[in-house]
Structure 1
């Protein structure tokens, strides 16, 4: 691969050290910093004016190039074709029809290919009027009569303007124009532009780039352009190994840019310049993935994002009650963040909250909004000041305490594990159901698995953990869901380390810190460190969120009356809240299942010990769950449903622990949303489970609908495309 100073590798993270905020027990872990592949490998994200500032002026005209120069673009892009008499001109299409009046001027010369016209004939064409008709909001009288410029005219124009802008030249259809590359090099050399800081070459044609490699100085960058169909179905490592033979980078269609694509590119030390990125939202998404530059028709927008703070990884709402909500966002640099909340989409009357995004929380910021109205849709927008870019979202408050209102919940867990990385299609399908809230049932990241964010796991320091959350937030589908409804987030083992027991794992405090930085969580849950809490949806549902990690004894400890997963305080809290609940439906959100043995033999991680699988296995936490089961039964608490994940397949189970023919509670398990898929295993029989449905081998999520009028609870399991695999209506007793 050719090496150039343009690619100033800087793979070490520039996130700032936070050792002073980390417990002393973590000091050893804080010494090792790992590179993320989801950050630029250059010192500056380049602004490439696509066909000039072509969103504001006719493409490939001096007017478009002048606007790009004024907007401080780093490069103006030129697509080159060759005329019949051998002149290189700047035009994108191989024909003149779309951007000139050639059909009117030369009606008998269809299909009006560039190669069939002399430069003198082309200079008679109007290359600007079409723009005024197509984009009237940017129309200007002076665009009428704009001409298609030659390469020489573009160079002369830039020199006249005294600009430092460089050229980003694409050889278009080079097989149609023999000698194009030699002619191009000759002109650039004559004008002093055959230098690394003056020009970059790009092409969809590998042959053209290989020819240029032989005739230009070694330090001039070459970039291979890719359309989706060029690499569809191909191994990315093979693609980049080949490209690295002659190119310093790639120019992919923006749809191709994913964490996996970025990892392959940056591991090959190749820069990534996607095309064509025009909206600020698209630009922010590409920046979150770590691209090294972008082609855009609106260079001023990217210039602003490079200079001013912006909301970098979407926004979210959570912990919603009937009168309050927590809002979350992250900025690109330290900034004051402004939140506006209103029940009116026009924001005529809005609650305004501001909070500073600081490095000690990885530039994440949260605010609590109070005095909201029950059972109301609220709109919010968030902005990092003084930047102009805004991110918006909606959430719905819970009904008043005594009201019975129907609701729809989506739930699932397990994202980013076993080689599965964003994007995750299921999140988009969840959002399309317009749920009242999303229950994220744990393993919201896989801190101990290899992904582009942390290629050498496990996560060892706070930067690693933060990087994992940012990686999943690059997923537009997840951002879509988080910005369309509220979220209640639970942590499980992979937020820290596989099957960890909180009091005995040195990384617990670091994982907890990152989890509470990246999810909208109330101070009541986070500042005390307890995480368990009850949320009510009117009188329809009480949601009991458990913390299955922070208080547990080691998985390897033999089970007994004193072994705990929840800790005594949390256990007593759960029993008290269940007893006092008068909600029609009780949902207990547990990150681990009841009767499905997880973990390893003699180190069971869920409630079940699996002694029917291994009679000598005396681990698990069955004695503690037996206390919960007995309490539900003895107090005749009806309509209790455990909502779980973690097992990487879907399972619907009902329980009759005393085998009297009466169902005492149920368990609904879904997942994975985006992790390794598993297959149903044998149920532990201790609590009398009856399996109603089980299916593995696919990405899935769950849907719960509660209809108080019909006194009916509906449960569905859907795949990542929204197809229903299981549907069952249960009566509300």
Structure 2
């Protein structure tokens, strides 16, 4: 090779190298950490964005997404002390009607309490066919409010048939003191009935119990300290004082996602709590929260989970 040509080649190589943008090693490391960290992806009320909420079809559809590790659901108590999967302790006119298509009357004074109906009576109402005004992508179909044990049975059967590992369950006890006794039983009765169903199922180690009401969490911890607990928080602020008032620190903190930022995550992490915000329904926001360091995400749309997670 001629010396003049060699010098020209070296000069051009140097120009190309200088013009190349340096690799951002920090961003690459952060992305690799996000993708390798085990994130607890939870299907909210099964997959409310895709199928009627808190119904067996919704839970089974959520399991079609291998990324979903946990099924999130809500429970209330019927007149015959059965644990019913439902977000409200009444029949919501927004999603429920009689099986012959008669709409329920709107208004608080007209609410039909699930605590006043037996499990069999609750099953006479359809809570799946009405189009949901806030979830236009829902595939509406006939569905009823199942018992918790019916959900366990259906999911166990699905997992055996499809060779899928059993998911975890994140079960919210829908207790509010102001709703006693018309809509909910007292705290101790509520907790006892849920624990009885967990023991009847036989896999309480797969369950997290969550609640907005700290005394409910205290009752559970007193009776069954081995069961994992999560503290739901709609209005974050001064987290340490809240934990001091509870008297212990649950392992999981679930704040409303719109209030979840780096400061809140740092505050929870300092207390040794894992952070699992609700309810995150855009891929963009999921990515933002992942970058902030959350440990899990509850979503109505498992089909919007970013690619690359297993």
2:45 matched to 1:47? no
Distance 1:258 1:126 in 2: 39
Q: 1:185 to 1:45 in 2, by over 3 A?
A: same
2:184 matched to 1:188? no
Distance 2:223 2:216 in 1: 11
Quote how far apart the aligned CAs of 1:239 are: 3.0
2:254 matched to 1:256? no
- Tell me, what secondary structure is at the counterpart of 2:53? coil
Gaps of 5+ in 2: 1-29, 178-183
Tell me the equivalent position of 1:70.
Answer: 64
**Residue number among 99, 102, 105 corresponding to 1:104 in the alignment:** 102
Tell me the equivalent position of 1:275.
Answer: 278
Distance 2:89 2:282 in 1: 27
**Residue number among 154, 169, 191 corresponding to 1:157 in the alignment:** 154
Q: 1:296 to 1:69 in 2, by over 3 A?
A: same
Which has more strand, going by share of residues?
1
Tell me the equivalent position of 1:60.
Answer: 54
Tell me the equivalent position of 1:226.
Answer: 233
Q: TM-score, normalised by structure 2?
A: 0.76
CA contact 2:49–2:137 (8 Å) conserved in 1: no
Q: 1:149 to 1:266 in 2, by over 3 A?
A: same
Q: Which has the higher contact order (CA 8 A, sep 6+)?
A: 2
Quote how far apart the aligned CAs of 1:104 are: 2.8
Q: 1:270 to 1:286 in 2, by over 3 A?
A: same
Q: How does 1:447-458 map to 2 (within 5 A)?
A: none
Q: 1:199 to 1:303 in 2, by over 3 A?
A: farther
Q: How does 1:95-244 map to 2 (within 5 A)?
A: 95-97=90-92, 98-102=94-98, 104=102, 110-131=110-131, 135-140=135-140, 143=141, 145-162=142-159, 163=164, 164-173=166-175, 175=177, 176-178=184-186, 179-195=189-205, 198-218=206-226, 220-228=227-235, 231=236, 234-242=237-245
Q: 1:299 to 1:50 in 2, by over 3 A?
A: same
Measured against aligned partners, the alpha-carbon deviations of 1:410-460 in whole angstroms (never above 9, x if no partner) come to xxxxxxxxxxxxxxxxxxxxxxxxxxxxxxxxxxxxxxxxxxxxxxxxxxx
Quote how far apart the aligned CAs of 1:74 are: 0.7
Query: For this pair of structures, how many residues does the alignment match?
Result: 259
Measured against aligned partners, the alpha-carbon deviations of 1:460-519 in whole angstroms (never above 9, x if no partner) come to xxxxxxxxxxxxxxxxxxxxxxxxxxxxxxxxxxxxxxxxxxxxxxxxxxxxxxxxxxxx
Identify the range of structure 1 (180-189 vs 235-244) with the bigger mean alpha-carbon deviation.
235-244
- Tell me, what secondary structure is at the counterpart of 2:88? coil
CA contact 1:244–1:270 (8 Å) conserved in 2: no
Measured against aligned partners, the alpha-carbon deviations of 1:56-87 in whole angstroms (never above 9, x if no partner) come to 00000111001111112111111001112211
Q: How does 1:638-717 map to 2 (within 5 A)?
A: none
2:290 matched to 1:287? yes
Measured against aligned partners, the alpha-carbon deviations of 1:143-174 in whole angstroms (never above 9, x if no partner) come to 1x211110010000011112411111000015
Distance 1:105 1:69 in 2: 31
Q: 1:132 to 1:202 in 2, by over 3 A?
A: closer
Q: 1:214 to 1:43 in 2, by over 3 A?
A: farther
Q: How does 1:320-399 map to 2 (within 5 A)?
A: none
- Tell me, what secondary structure is at the counterpart of 1:96? coil
Distance 1:273 1:295 in 2: 7
Quote how far apart the aligned CAs of 1:138 are: 3.7
CA contact 2:50–2:137 (8 Å) conserved in 1: no
Distance 1:188 1:43 in 2: 29
- Tell me, what secondary structure is at the counterpart of 1:55? coil
Distance 2:286 2:268 in 1: 19
Q: TM-score, normalised by structure 1?
A: 0.33
Distance 1:49 1:283 in 2: 13
Distance 2:309 2:303 in 1: 10
Name which one, 1 or 2, has greater alpha-carbon Rg.
1
- Tell me, what secondary structure is at the counterpart of 1:66? helix
**Residue number among 63, 74, 92 corresponding to 1:79 in the alignment:** 74
CA contact 1:61–1:149 (8 Å) conserved in 2: yes
Gaps of 5+ in 1: 1-35, 308-733
